[in-house]
Amino acid sequence: MPMEPMVIEVSTCIRTLRLKVKAESYPWLNAAAIQVNQVWNWGNATSAKAARPFAGAAKWLSGFDLDKLSAGAAEYFEYIGSETIQRVNAELATRRRQFKKTQLRWRVSRGAKRSLGWVPFKAAQLKRKGKSLRFTGKAFRVFEQDQLQGTKCKCGCFAQDSVGDWWLCVPVERSFAPCMPKNEEVGLDLGLKDTVATSDGEKLEAGRFYRDIEQKIARAQRRGHKRQAKRLHRTAARRRKDALQKFSTKIVDQYQRIFVGDVSSAKLIKTRMAKSVLDAGWGMLKTQLQYKGQQAGRRVLIVSERYTTRACSSCGSLSGPAGLAMLDVRIWVCSGCGDTHDRDVNAAKNILSAGRCPPSISGNESSPSGAPPSQASSRCEAGTSALAAAA
Ligand SMILES: [Zn+2]
C-alpha cells in the first residue's frame, strides 16, 4: 500500500467511564455515603457560619480552608479517608462559588428525601488488584473491569442512581482522529412529533424511547412496584440517550457546518406538549452536537427558528401551518409555488438557509472550514432577514 502523505492529527478528549459495581459492595457503599453526607453537612454549616458570623469579619472559606479545619477527622470515620474528605470539601467550595450561595442544600441520609449516594475519591486511593479493585482496604468488583485497562485517572467517584444501584465513575482520556466530513452543511429542525429532521430529509423518531415503556411503568406503579418503575424509567432514559448519541455522532461525522433551530423548550413545556418536549431531549442533543462538533473541528450554530415552519423553503412565502392548533398538519402544499412540503424537513431547510446568510452580527463567516474549533459554537439571529432575502 502506498504511504499517505496526509498527516492525521490525533486529539484527546475526556470521557466519563461508568462501570456498574457488583451488588455485594452496596451495603458498604451505602454506609460510606452516609459518612460523606456528614462531612458535606459539616462543611456546609461551617462555611455558612464563617460567611455570616455573629461577630467579627465574614470569611468565605475555600476548600483548602475546610481541609485545614477538618485535618485529622478521618480517624473518626470508619469508611472514608482523608482524601475523600478533601474531595468533598473541594466539591462543596466549588459549588458554593458556582451558585454564589453561602449555604447549599443539606445531604440527607435517610427517609423519602434521601440524597443519592456519592463517594468521591482520589486516584491514588483506588488500586487495581487482579480481578478486583481496592478502595480504603475494601475489595470491589465491577462489571466490565477490563475497560479500565490502560487508563489513567486523577480522581473519580462512586455514585448511586435512583434505582439504588452503584456505579464507579472515572474520567478517562481517550484519543481519536478527526475525519473530514462528506457534506458541507445541514439544517436541523427539532420538532415535536419527530425529534429531529435534517434538511436532507432524514429523521430521528422521538417518543419511542419512553412511550412504549410508559404503559409498563403505569402498570408497575398501580401494583406498587416502585423499584421496578424506577428501573423502567432508567431504561427509557438510557435508550433515549443512546439514540441521541448515535444521531449526533452521525451528523458530526457527515457535515462541516451544522445549523440547529433555536427552540425555546421552556416556553413549550408550559403548553400541553410538555411530555413530547421532555421526551425529545433537545437540550441533550444540542449539548452533544456542540461538544462533538468542537472536538471534530465543526461549526455548530444556533439559528433563530422564527417563521421556519410557516415559510415555504422553495419560494419563501408564509403559507405554511401556524400556531398550536395547526401542529397536526404534517404535510402541506404551498399556495405560492405549489410545492408539497413535509413540515419538519421544510423547517430544517429554512434553518439551513437562515444559517447560510447570517445578518451583520458576524459578517465574516464566508469560509466554511476556516473557523478554529474554539469558535465552533456561536449564536446568530438569522430568521427574519434571511427569509426576507429569500422572498
Ligand atoms: Zn412556495
Quote the ligand 1 centre to 312 CA distance (angstroms).
Answer: 5
Ligand 1 center to 334 CA (angstroms): 5
Distance 8 CA to ligand 1 centre (A): 45
Strands (E), the chain: 11-20, 118-122, 126-129, 132-135, 138-140, 155-160, 166-176, 183-190, 194-198, 203-205, 255-262, 299-304, 331-333, 340-342, 377-380
Q: Are the CB atoms for 282 and 262 separated by under 8 Å?
A: no
Residue 331 CA to ligand 1 centre (angstroms): 13
Task: Tell me how far the alpha carbon of residue 268 lies from the centroid of ligand 1, in angstroms.
Answer: 27
Report the pLDDT value the prediction gives residue 336, as an integer from 0 to 100.
83
Choose among 161, 143, 158: nearest CA to 33.
158
Please give the distance, rounded to the nearest whole angstrom, from the Cα atom of residue 34 to the centre of ligand 1: 64
Contact 199, 186 (CB under 8 A): yes
In this predicted structure, what is the pLDDT of residue 31? 95
pLDDT of residue 387: 38
C-alpha grid cell for residue 290? 456542540
Distance 173 CA to ligand 1 centre (A): 50
For residue 155, give every residue at least 6 positions away whose Cβ sits within 8 Å of its Cβ, in sequence order, or none: 87, 120, 121, 122, 123, 171
What is the Å distance from ligand 1's center to 338 Cα? 6
The alpha carbon of 350 and the centre of ligand 1 are apart by a number of angstroms equal to 12
d(CA 263, ligand 1 centre) in Å: 23
Cell numbers 454564589: residue: 100
- Neighbouring C-beta atoms of residue 357, cutoff 10 Å: 13
pTM beyond 0.85, yes or no: no
CA 367 – CA 362 distance, rounded (Å): 13
How far, in Å, CA of 61 to CA of 72, rounded? Answer: 18
Scan for cell 454506609, then name that residue. Answer: 31
CB count in 10 Å sphere of residue 114: 14
Ligand 1 centroid to Cα of residue 276, in Å, is 29
C-alpha of residue 361 to centroid of ligand 1, in Å:
28
CA 186 to centroid of ligand 1, rounded, Å: 20
Query: Rounded to the nearest whole angstrom, what is the distance from the C-alpha of residue 308 to the centroid of ligand 1?
Result: 13
Q: How far is the CA of 299 from the centre of ligand 1 (A)?
A: 29
23 CA distance to ligand 1 middle (Å): 61
pLDDT at 389: 37
- Ligand 1 centre and the CA of 353: distance in Å? 15
In the reported structure, the alpha carbon of residue 115 is separated from the centroid of ligand 1 by a whole-number distance in angstroms of 55
**339 C-alpha vs ligand 1 centroid, how far in Å?**
6
How many angstroms separate the alpha carbon of residue 145 from the centre of ligand 1? 57
User: How many A from CA of 321 to the centre of ligand 1?
Assistant: 13
Distance CA 40, CA 108 (A): 10
How high is the pLDDT of residue 226? 87
Between strands 166-176 and 11-20, the pairing is antiparallel
Q: Beta strand pairing status for 299-304 and 194-198?
A: unpaired
Round to whole Å and give the CA distance between 129 and 134.
Answer: 7
Q: What is the pLDDT along the chain (391 residues), one digit of tens a residue?
A: 444 444 555 667 777 888 999 999 999 999 999 999 999 999 999 999 999 988 889 999 999 999 999 999 999 999 999 999 999 999 999 999 999 999 999 999 998 889 999 999 988 888 887 788 888 888 889 998 888 877 777 789 999 998 889 999 988 877 766 677 888 899 988 876 556 889 998 888 766 667 778 888 889 989 989 889 989 988 888 888 888 888 898 999 899 999 988 765 544 555 555 555 555 567 788 888 888 888 888 888 888 877 777 888 888 888 777 765 666 777 888 888 888 888 888 888 988 988 887 654 443 433 333 333 333 344 443 333 333 333 3
3-state helix, strand, coil in the chain (%, to 5): 45, 20, 35
Bridge partners of 259, per DSSP, are: 187, 301
Which protein residues have their CB within 5 A of the ion that is ligand 1? 312, 314-315, 334, 336-337
Distance 379 CA to ligand 1 centre (A): 28
